[in-house]
Amino acid sequence: MGRDDKYVLIALGGNAFQTKGEVGTTENYWKNAYRAAETIVKVVKEGYRVAVTHGNGPQVGVILEWMERSKDRIPPLAMDIAGAMTQGWLGYLLMQSIYNTLIKEGIKDHVKGVVAIVNQVLVSKEDPAWQNPTKYVGSYYNTEEEAKKVAKEKGWVIKKDPRGGYRRVVPSPNPTENIEVGAVRKLIDEGWIVIASGGGGIPVIREDDGTLKGVEAVIDKDLAGEVLATNLQVGTFVILTDVDGAYLNFRKPNQKKLDVVTVSELERYYDEGHFKAGSMGPKVLAAIRFIKHGGKRAIIGHLRDGYRVVKGESGTIVVPD
């Protein structure tokens, strides 16, 4: 594929499916998926070859809650299976929305088609994250007594959630390899729009005999997106979210938006703690890694301006030194 600016990976944030204030109805999901599809199709219309990745935080939470509420009748499944379920669910929404938008715009013949892949992402058994689970998932428990009882029964780690109540926490290990990247690359080269690495990918470890095994963990979607973008050797990695870029001193009187920034400048700001973990922090780290791994441009911007972000007319643009 090569580092070609006409090959782009677009990472969609959670607002691509469910925006603030929405309860997550089927209608909500389709409306937002079509909004994301409009951006992607505009990019395709410009001659770009596109891979798409997306978040799944709210949706995997919904599935875990379904499992918890029905546990007396249906045995709950493991988190890696829940992650795979969201890849099918959200992949379908995007796949159909993009396909129909291509037809509506009269450019269906520009591509072979749209395909979503159930995609595994490798993490290390030695990752220190296993010793310090930090990602809150699943149901809320109201009292410490109830939380301790569930933790003992299931062997979970449960902590007090800053947003209230108690919740299970799982590790968030660093992604190292996209298992199905060869298939993704081949499909894009042949003219398909590919949806992959949804929700950060299904987390798997490699056993000593080379086999893969799913694990109870959450991979950060932006860091996994960088791994896919780097593995694909795309020129441009775009992260679309619900803010218009990365800011220094965000939401303070002296906040300052970064427009064009070199990777070494951004790394210095990252080390100084300007970007919060769990929000802009992983996006900035993913952008830094992409450029340091040989990428040409990484851009962080708002989903509503997605087309202009890909064109480099909006957002925070990260470039090599």
Catalytic amino acids? Answer: 14-15, 135, 221, 283
CA torsion 278-282-284-287 (nearest 10°) is -160
Q: Which strand (E) or helix (H) includes residue 185?
A: helix 181-189
Over the range 233-248, which residues count as b (16 or more CB within 10 Å of their CB) and which as e? bbbbbbbbbebbbbbe
Side by side, which strands form the sheet with 166-170?
A: 135-141, 166-170, 157-160
In 10 A of CB 313, how many CB atoms?
12
Residues forming beta bridges with residue 299, ordered by sequence position: 238, 317
Strands (E) in 32-106, as ranges, are 49-54
Residues 6+ apart with CB under 8 A from 157: 133, 151, 168, 169, 170
CA distances for 272 relative to 76, 209, 277, 281, angstroms: 42, 42, 13, 11
Residues 6+ apart with CB under 8 A from 239: 11, 13, 222, 225, 283, 286, 287, 298, 299, 300, 301
Q: How far apart are CA 226 and CA 45, in angstroms?
A: 24
At residue 287, the 3 state secondary structure works out as: helix
User: % helix / strand / coil in the chain, to the nearest 5?
Assistant: 40, 25, 35
Q: How far apart are CA 243 and CA 189, in angstroms?
A: 32
Q: What are phi and psi of 291, to 5 degrees?
A: -65, -40
CB 287 within 8 A of CB 281: no
